[in-house]
Structure 1
Amino acid sequence: MSDKLLSPRELRVWHAFKLMGEDVLTRVGRDISDATGLSGSEFGVLSRLAAIGKGEMRQQVLANMMGWDKSRLSHQLTRMKARKLIERRSTGNNTVLVVLTRLGQQKLDDARPIHAESVRRNLLSRLTSEQIDAIVRVSNILGEDEDE
């Protein structure tokens, strides 16, 4: 590991990258919350359950998809279960299934158009087609495994 600190230019890039994502995510999350009462994290869990898991998913798989540690997801799911957005079902073998409830699906259905409009307003409409393509290219590069 290097002891060399980031240069001023490297710091500018790092801060721009962080602030860009945080700002857009905060705005979109606020729009969803104001309109539906769902937090951005709840929307993320519900949308993954619905789209990828077809309404249910193993808790560990969901944690991996969210990029969250087991504890963070467990606390989030406890809050969501109390709000009747999800159910947890033990299937034995230390496996827990997270299941989308009817209320969770309804809240997600209510939030999706808000999410779409907010993403368009807070991100897509503010960028040119070329800038959007550049973000996608950078994301693909950063998403690659360094070992490959």
Structure 2
Amino acid sequence: MHAPELEPRDAALWRAVTLMGRRLVAGLEQRLQASVGISVPDLDILMALDAASEGRLRAGSLGEMLGWEKSRISHHVARMEARGLVKRVTCAEDLRGTWVEIDSEGRVALMRALPVFSSHVQSGLVELLPADEAEVVGRAALRILDASPVTACQAEIDRLGVDLGLRAVDGTAGSPPAASS
């Protein structure tokens, strides 16, 4: 049985979206490695921990937030812990779970990385899209994420909708963001 062939335009759309994502991430990776010595996954973890109450998350919650498999989060956190960026602490409540906490070196790395991240997002994305196109991209991304059968990172998807001004905190459709000049 053969799968139906994609229309050339549909295949080109897929390639354009995936290439755009890869280039954005690769550009950020190069800038972070050169200026701070951390990777994009390191930054993802540090930003998630920084946003969490008390600067820590359960390892499973962190993996779910990032859409990572349990073994990937475990191995990556171990490498970050060896570099002093994070520490793992046994959960006192049940002794089975593990908290991942941002460590002092992780805070320093994050503070050094945030201006690099901000500059990259501004120059590689925000400055290239007028506000109306940025809103269309945000809406399209959320529609695609919502249609995905993967259940991991749903809380992050919901938070993105709120942060983009496209959903209310309760998950209902929000009012569109005010146009910027």
Taking structure 2 as the reference length, what is the TM-score of the superposition?
0.75
The equivalent position to 2:120 in structure 1, one of 111, 114, 118, is 118
2:36 — aligned with what? 36
The corresponding residue for 1:21 is 21
Identity of aligned residues (%): 27
Once residues 20 and 83 of structure 1 are traced to their aligned partners in structure 2, the CA distance between those partners, rounded to angstroms, is 31
Q: Which whole-Å CA distance do the structure 1 matches of 2:97 and 2:141 have between them?
A: 33
Give the structure 2 partner of residue 86 of structure 1: 86
**Cross-structure match for 1:108:** 110
For residue 105 of structure 2, what is the amino acid of its counterpart?
L
Instruction: Return the alpha-carbon distance in structure 2 between the equivalents of residues 143 and 65 of structure 1.
Output: 13
What residue is the counterpart of 2:136 in the other structure?
134
Deviation at 1:146, TM superposition (A): 6.3
Q: Distance in 2 between matches of 1:74 and 1:146?
A: 25
Gaps of 5+ in 2: 150-181
1:71 and 2:84 aligned: no
Q: Give distance in 1, aligned partners of 2:133 and 2:2.
A: 33
Residues 87-138 of structure 1: per-residue CA shift (max 9 Å, x gap): 0111244201101101101110111111101110111112222221111110
State the 1:5 CA deviation.
Answer: 3.0
Aligned residues: 147
Structure of greater relative contact order (alpha carbons < 8 Å, 6+ residues apart): 1
Q: For residues 2 and 122 of structure 1, what CA distance do their matches in structure 2 show?
A: 39
**Alpha carbons of 1:6 and 1:35: their partners in 2 closer, same or farther (altered >3 Å)?**
same
Matched, 1:56 2:56: yes
> After the TM superposition, which segments of 4 or more aligned residues of structure 1 sit over 4 Å from their partners?
none
**What one-letter code is carried by the residue in structure 2 that aligns with 1:40?**
V
Q: TM-score, normalised by structure 1?
A: 0.91
Name the CA distance, whole Å, in 2 between partners of 1:24 and 1:139.
Answer: 15
CA RMSD of aligned residues (A): 1.8
* Secondary structure, counterpart of 1:87 in structure 2: strand
SS at match of 2:109: helix
Deviations 1:1-51 (A, max 9, x none): 982232222211111110111111111222122110011110000000001
8 Å contact from structure 1 (residues 90, 97) kept in 2:
yes
CA–CA distance in 2 between the matches of 1:111 and 1:65?
20
Shift of 1:68: 0.4
